[in-house]
Amino acid sequence: MKHYLLIAAAAVSIPVLAQTNTGWQTSAGVNIALNQGNSDTLLAGANILTLKKWDKNEFTAGADGVYGNNKDLNTGERVTTAQNYGAFLQYNRLVSDRLYFLGRSDARQDRVADIKYRVTLSPGAGYYVIKNERTTLAFEAGPGLVLEQFENGPSTKYFTVRIGEKFTHKFNDKVRLMQEADFTPKVDQWENYVLNAQATLEADLTTKLAVRLTVQDTYRSEPAPGRKSNDLRILAGIAYKF
């Protein structure tokens, strides 16, 4: 039986976002891991991130997705092990060099976790505790509205409080770390919450290509029936910047 392991990466472009003359900074990438032989597995992920800063305005948007399956070599049946997709956008209006007001929207679907959809709408305010050419650290907070539905369950909506944190650091001109986390509990039931965290280490190969390692973690205190609270993903690949 043939056995091989393939790890590949490819670039994805969205021309509307790639208008460098308007100040957009966009990066996108795909990573794929395939194993055949004593096991038959597939894991693929893709992401795109774009941002623009002008005057007293900051705009950021992104999307990502992960899909994976595993084949039972005895029965030939394939079982989905990962299938989640998400997107977000955020607009900041600077009041001073460090203080800003914001509006943010997040949407995610996770079939394996039995989440049909979860949409969060949250205005708020943020403050850069650290802001220089190498390092930024900001904290954000504000009210929010969550719309969600579990698979085969009723749709629900409830108010939340979003508490967020964002950190970036440039080790040098080629290596950087980007990290963020947000905590969204129910306003009337703080023990019922969702905690999302992500960290990405990126190193430039050329002016356009970079290798990227991303760790994503989602913790839901009250998951769907029969599901675990924590989901951890580790993705490695190559990103294309334009």
Residue predicted with more confidence, 107 or 71 = 107
Q: Does 50 have pLDDT greater than 50?
A: yes
Residue with tokens 């769907």: 224
Model pLDDT for residues 76-93, shown as the tens digit of each residue: 788 888 889 999 999 999
The pLDDT-based confidence of 175 (bands split at 50, 70, 90) is: very high
CATH 2.40.160.40 for the 4-241 domain, yes or no? yes
Q: What angle do CA 206, 179, 15 make, to 5 degrees?
A: 50
Q: Are strands 40-54 and 4-10 parallel, antiparallel or unpaired?
A: unpaired
- How does the average pLDDT of the chain come out, rounded? 86
Model pLDDT for residues 200-228, shown as the tens digit of each residue: 999 999 999 999 988 889 999 989 888 88
Q: Answer positive or negative: Cα dihedral of 95, 100, 101, 105.
A: positive
Lowest mean pLDDT among 36-50, 121-135, 149-163, 174-188: 36-50
Label residues 195-225 b or e (16+ Cβ within 10 Å = b): bbbbebbbebeeeeebbbebebebbbeebbe
Helices then strands, each counted (H, E), the chain? 0, 13
Three-state DSSP state, 66? strand
Domain boundaries, given as residue ranges, for the chain? 4-241
pLDDT, position 36 = 67
Q: What is the pLDDT averaged over residues 182-209?
A: 94
Model pLDDT for residues 117-162, shown as the tens digit of each residue: 999 999 999 999 999 999 999 999 999 999 999 988 889 999 999 9
Q: Does 34 have pLDDT greater than 80?
A: no
